[in-house]
Amino acid sequence: MILTDKRYSNQIFKRVSFCNGGIAVWWTKKKFERCQFLGCDFSDVFARGCRFIECVFKSGKLQHFSMGGRTSVLLRKTIYMDCTFENVKLRSLGIADFIGCTFINCDFNTAFIAASFSKCKFVGKIYGCVFCGPKFDSYYYGNKLSFLVSNKGRLEDVDFSEASLTDVDFRGGIDLSKVLMPHTTINRM
């Protein structure tokens, strides 16, 4: 499905494929409000300067979705506000800001180099991912402009209390004092 409008509101996309047979699809400065993406395929979609507000992403293919690109003019980032991600694979978050989002039973297994999270909640198992902070090397951003635009891996008021973290690392100066970690029991023999 090709999205030609710039604005979508209260839409339900159910089992829709947004991919174009291996050819990149660019979503630039699109705005989605209260949309539901249920079982959708986002393969080869690049979101640049988009806004997703109160959207739901459930059980779809997001592992090949470039969720956070920036526009060349005005350097506008992609922002997700009050969105829910449930049972999806997330691999390429790019320069995206997640504000007030909830991640339920998502498969990450990636490095969050330029993505930032503020007032977000993580629920379920989180395995094999790295959160990279503001002191992480700008080399990994691809170019200096992307580095300057990003929030550089900020974690602020993030709640992992209902998550199980395995092989998760926090690098590059992330301030964990603003993060609620899981309550764990240590068994001693």
34 in any annotated domain: yes
| 37 beta partners | 13, 57
16 in any annotated domain: yes
- Which of 20-29, 42-51, 148-157 has maximum average pLDDT? 42-51
Phi, psi of 63 (to 5 degrees): -70, -20
Look at residue 118 in the predicted model and tell me its pLDDT.
Answer: 94
Q: How far apart are CA 104 and CA 47, in angstroms?
A: 22
DSSP string covering 90-123: -----SEEEES-EEES-B--SEESS-EEES-EEE
Please give the average per-residue pLDDT across 87-100, as a whole number: 85
85 in any annotated domain: yes
Query: Are 17 and 39 within 8 A, CB to CB?
Result: no
Higher pLDDT, 24 or 54: 54
176 in any annotated domain: yes
pLDDT surpasses 70 at 185:
no
103 in any annotated domain: yes
CATH number, domain containing residue 107: 2.160.20
At 35-58, the pLDDT tens digits run 999 999 888 888 888 999 999 999
Strands 31-33 and 12-14: unpaired
Please give the average per-residue pLDDT across 172-186, as a whole number: 79
188 in any annotated domain: no
Please give the average per-residue pLDDT across 73-81, as a whole number: 77
185 in any annotated domain: no
Largest Cα separation within the chain, whole Å, is: 62
Q: Which domain range does residue 173 map to?
A: 7-180
Q: How far apart are CA 50 and CA 76, in angstroms?
A: 8
Give the count of domains, the chain: 1
In degrees, rounded to 5, the angle at the alpha carbon of residue 175 between the alpha carbons of residues 187 and 46 is 105
Higher pLDDT, 77 or 152: 77
40 in any annotated domain: yes
Query: Are 89 and 105 within 8 A, CB to CB?
Result: no
Q: How confident is the model at residue 189 (pLDDT cuts 50, 70, 90)?
A: very low
Higher pLDDT, 147 or 119: 119
pTM: predicted TM-score of the whole model, two decimal places? 0.85
Cα of 117 vs its chain's centroid, Å: 8
